[in-house]
């Protein structure tokens, strides 16, 4: 990586560091203003539809993941 690229990366990092507190404040403000009851009401039909029309998976995939990890250890 040349010096111009390094400077560009430093500026990119500095920009995100400056934006982070502002983005966090925005996120917190949006969470405080949200209406959880309304959100649940709006999503309840979609949730009920999934329950009616799709059967649950037989496995979460954790057993398969552990099996693959075990193979990688050998």
Residues 2-55: pLDDT tens digits? 888 999 999 999 999 999 999 999 999 999 999 999 999 999 999 999 999 988
What pLDDT shows up at residue 2? 85
CA distance 1 to 4: 8
Q: What H or E segment, with its residue span, contains residue 16?
A: helix 3-33
As for how many domains the chain has, the answer is 1
CA distance 60 to 57: 7
**Residues recorded for the chain:** 74
> Is a pLDDT exceeding 80 seen at residue 74?
no
32 token code pair: 């405080």
Residue 29's domain spans which residues? 3-73
pTM: 0.50
């Amino acid at each position: 990586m040349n010096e111009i690229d390094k400077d560009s990366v430093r500026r990119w990092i500095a920009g995100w560091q400056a934006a982070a507190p502002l983005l966090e404040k925005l996120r917190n403000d949006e969470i405080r203003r949200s209406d959880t009851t309304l959100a649940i009401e709006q999503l309840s039909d979609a949730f009920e539809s999934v329950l009616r029309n799709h059967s649950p998976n037989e496995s979460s995939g954790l057993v398969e993941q552990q099996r693959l990890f075990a193979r990688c250890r050998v």
